[in-house]
Amino acid sequence: MRASTDLDMLADFFDRYGVALTTGDVPAIAGCYALPGLVVADTYSFSFSSPAAVALSFVGAAPDYQERELVAAHAAIEDVQPVSALLSMVAVEWEFLDSQGRAVRGERYRYLLRATDDGPVICTVLRTG
């Protein structure tokens, strides 16, 4: 097992994560995270140590995606940097489609991923723009 630097594997992981986000599949979102996990932004930070805590953290996101009529998400991987044997930092810009098929610009994040036997999991999310 090695740090996640394979672009196809990372693209598959972020595709699954994006589908979970836009469909409000909170258990699938939780399954993408290592525990404990951390989310950091300019004005807030929060951590979670159980799948239920991850789920609670994302319950509010589903109505936001529905209100904005976002139906698909794509993670444009901008950079991948190995950090250690099992960790990598991945810079992503999210791109969305709304229900009318229009592109909606998303936000930029950096994800600290850990390689596991089941594939990458998110340890830390940093909102960068």
pLDDT in tens, 17-53: 999 988 888 889 999 999 999 999 899 898 989 988 8
Q: What is the pLDDT of residue 1?
A: 56
Side-chain half-sphere CA neighbours of 80 within 13 A? 17
> What letter does residue 43 receive in the DSSP assignment?
S
- Give the largest Cα separation in the chain, rounded: 43
Residue 3, pLDDT score: 67
Which backbone phi and psi does 43 adopt, to 5 degrees?
-110, 0
Element (H, E) at 18: helix 7-23
Summarize the confidence of residues 86-101 as an average pLDDT. 92
> What is the rounded (10 degree) CA torsion for 124, 89, 18, 116?
-80
Task: Give phi and psi for 86, each to the nearest 5.
Answer: -120, -5
